[in-house]
Structure 1
Amino acid sequence: MASLPTSIPRFLLPRGYLLLRPQTRQLLQLQFPLTAIRHASSRPKTLSEQFQKRAPPVIPQPDKYRPPSHGKRTSRSETSMKSYGPKLTAAQKEEMRTKKYPNMMSPEGTFTHWFFNNKVIHLWITMGILVTLAIAAWYMDFMSKTIYSELIPTRKDFYMHPIQSTGRFIEVYKMHIAHTTAEAQDRRLKKMEDTEKRKEYRLQRIREAEEKGEEYVEDPRYYVGEDGVRRRRVKRWFGIWE
């Protein structure tokens, strides 16, 4: 009979298990079988993971050290019993609803409550203030620009004779508008006359240059517009007009 191969002492074996020959590796597997094999896809359960899965221990709190803010009973604000004592009657609830408490808004059914909660009144007051400010601004601007301020009736005249004073004020305002229109027309005519004069002056200089046989050279600082008027060129530096 063939004898079984003798086992080799472990201190004679090399450290690397994979460096052994296949036959010796098989013998070692037979003598020292691997009880636990961990694959690459599996993860070992550590002690910290086991502690995480456990539920935290709940220690009962003794009543001796319970603070007043965290009473053992459920607070009344979280229950249906909002007030102490018996339930309120309908008359008591109505009295509480219409009672005037100090430093608080007026109850329903009073004039103050209606006044503060009415949107129409607030809209009317706001629009009235805005219209009054607009009229005051227009009147101050009119009084500062008109030359007929002496013809405007005084406040006493408005109080004593409101209809006549209003008619007189309208007439003065029409006179002011006519005067403003006339001034605007005069300024427009003056600009047109200045434009015609500059145009004629330029044409005269061109004729004089032609009579002398010289060439009329335009100044590069100026240009001639479509209306035949010479104007200065405007340069723009960093968004600022010169």
Structure 2
Amino acid sequence: MSASIPRFLLPRGPATWRPRLSSSTTRTIRAASTKAPKPKAAKPKAPASKIPVLEKPTRFNPPSHGKSLPNRTVRYPGPALSEAEIAAQKTKKYPTMMPPEGTFMHWFLNNRSIHIYITLGVLSSLAGFTFLVSLRHDSKFGDLLPEPKDAIWHPFATVRTVFEVLRLDAEAKSAETKERRARRVEDVAKRGEYRKAHGLETEGFGGWTAREAPPAAFQKAMAAGEEAEEQPKQKRQVKKWLGIW
């Protein structure tokens, strides 16, 4: 490790490491008894001409036209493209872009009929699958339905089996409904026979019977020729508050 020497211990000879001043530069040496010259006072500047200041507008009023006309030409690197180059761009495949015109993918992606057929086919398949699952779960003859894989390989046989299961299910429901109605009719007939056997034909529910008018009073009214006249119904007066309600 090298030790640094203090500056005051070095000889006072001309130091080679100090940069020498050029002879052109002047140095002013002042004794301690002399006074420093006073700095000269700055000359007063001439009064500047008054700049007209416009009044601040109440709102922003854009100018009617700019300093220069707008350049509406399209900026592109290179000269204008020829018709052959423009036609070649339409058939060129660019990455991450739609397929060019004249290709199969361009026709497939822009054909509405293809998309309609695909959409209707998918929806019909989902509806048919849901219908078969519901029929297998709810019908008594759901075990007769084929498996989903058989529906793909044998579609006509599957459709024929589905119609047969629907017919059997409809016949079974009709038979159950007919039997239920027959039981109700038989129950009503048995209750009628029971009421006849116990003399309860004129008795209502809970032992109540219909009220009959006395025959003597009815014959007397017919002989006298009395006719019932409807009396006009008097409207109930409603008390109003302040003449409004």
TM-score grouping bracket, smaller chain normalisation: 0.3 to 0.5
* TM-score, normalisation: structure 2: 0.45
Q: Normalising to structure 1: TM-score of the pair? A: 0.46
> Of Structure 1 and Structure 2, which has the larger fraction of its residues in helix?
1
Instruction: Flag the structure with larger Rg.
Output: 2
Between structures 1 and 2, the one with greater strand share: 1
